[in-house]
Amino acid sequence: MPAKNTLIALIASLALAITAMAAPTTVEAASGLTVRSATVSSEFVGQVVLRGIPSSLLQSISFTIVPKSGSTAKAISVTYSKAYLVAQHKLAGRLKEATIAIFGLYADYNNTVRITVKQIYRKAITTTVRLQTAAYTGYFSAATRIDVTPRNAAIPLDYSYMLVKHLYNGLGPVVLDIDGNIRWVGRPGMNSQGAYFWNGSIYLDNSEGFSAGTKLFRMDMTGALTEVADYASEGVWGFHHNYDLGKVGLLIEPNITVDGAVHVESTILEINKSGTILDRWNITQIVRDAMVAGNDDPSNFVRDGDDWLHINASTYWAAKNTLVVSGREDFVIGIGYNDKQIKWILGDLSKAWATYPSLRAYALTMAPGSIAPIGHHAVSITPDGNLMLFDNGYGSFAHTPAGDNHSYSAPRKYSINLATRTATEVWNFKHSESIFSAICSSVYQQGSSYLIDYAHGNDGYLHLVGVGTQDRTAFEYTWAGQCWSGWNTRIISLEGVRY
């Protein structure tokens, strides 16, 4: 009955296509490894169930997403250890099955994914599956992107992926690659200002932009969400702006009430991966004490319940054992990590803070030809040991005098010499002085490459710019929208992630 057999084979083939949406194309014939199913749960995430894996022999399972033709971004590659799979209940010993998540898929594309299984005393086994994804139509889709400068493959970059902090449409952060493709979106309802990619997961809070959340979460790239800690008992009533890497943990920025005093955007906590508080810096008290010690009255400058400082980023400067804090209303301030004393202040001397002799005494002198930052964001320490930030160039909202304004915004890098108390501008990227981004925005460096986010362009657009050696523009992508469309963008690595 050849016709019946043909029909049965056709039905079986159709069933496999519906349930698996993929099929192995290369597997060592004698290995016994098969792909039982391969499905997609979103435009960017899939799941593969492998059969024929004795758990007692398993070491790890890895996947690599084969880049599209013409891509310059390195392939996303991830390794799951046996310990991780066991902890996540992804091994079924009796069935000899393992389930792995595949994240970072291209949307609206028939993705090729290579999977490698490593076992004790055996040769590694490789199989290939295909995962067809649906089109993505939200913000950052290809249809909404404008290529001011298409990706120039002749200009290499030392990074491939970007974590964009996006606060619209109820989505958390998103991941783009340097070719302009969106590769991942966060879980709906978790669109907090702060987010940081740490050990293969994203740490973020439940403030959802502006509401008074008290909890810290870990979002896996599969979308799984785990509560890490609740800081309500510490007086926290919301998180804001950045998470940044500290000396031993993560620096987070909460709004907090301590002993009845309300501190708005002026507190930093350092936490470990379990959410335990390792250290804290009350910048309100630190600055107030310094002003009193210098015989100034701080009451008209440091004001409880008021956004007098507006912290938007912080970082640990290991070479100087210093916490560097960006307060857009006033200055960039260096604070001793251990003694919590002011070490130096970098900023615009026409602002209110510089009218107080107690604070002016900490001011660094700008070297000839150097420009002081105004309304800055995204402080970081670069590989060459300098301080980098995004100089927005827009004066203070909370103080009078409000200070100067620039006619354009630019990333700037400074060499800080504490012996001479000087700051020398050693690099900038003026972009032909063509964009003014008054608020939000960022710049970060990887190797000799830079990633610049003009989040509030005066043309009404968000600009993401990749800069290679000799300050050549490797790409410039824009999307209609400002600030909360992508208020800060960090470089992340999705090549060789290990769990």
Report domain extents, the chain: 2-132, 146-494
For 150, residues 6+ apart whose C-beta sits below 8 A from its C-beta are 475
Query: Domain 146-494, what fold?
Result: Neuraminidase (2.120.10)
SS3 338: coil
For 293, residues 6+ apart whose C-beta sits below 8 A from its C-beta are 358
CB 355 within 8 A of CB 364: no
Q: What is the DSSP letter of 459?
A: T
Is the pLDDT confidence value at 213 over 70? yes
Instruction: Report pTM.
Output: 0.93
Confidence of residue 208 (pLDDT cuts 50, 70, 90): low
Sign for the CA dihedral angle at 201, 203, 209, 214 comes to: positive
Q: Which two tokens stand for residue 284?
A: 């309100």
Residues belonging to the chain: 499
Of 377, 397, 398, 494, residue with least CA distance to 444? 377
CB 286 within 8 A of CB 335: yes
Sign for the CA dihedral angle at 279, 282, 283, 289 comes to: negative
CB 163 within 8 A of CB 184: no
84-98, 373-387, 404-418: segment of lowest average pLDDT: 84-98
Is the pLDDT confidence value at 45 over 80? yes
Sign for the CA dihedral angle at 379, 291, 237, 484 comes to: negative
Give the up-direction half-sphere exposure of residue 457: CA atoms within 13 A in the CB hemisphere: 22
| Confidence (pLDDT) at 8 | 36
Is the pLDDT confidence value at 136 over 60? yes
82-96, 149-163, 413-427, 457-471: segment of lowest average pLDDT: 82-96
- The answer regarding whether domain 2-132 maps to CATH 2.60.40.10 reads yes
Q: Average pLDDT for residues 203-224, to the nearest whole number?
A: 84
| Confidence (pLDDT) at 277 | 98
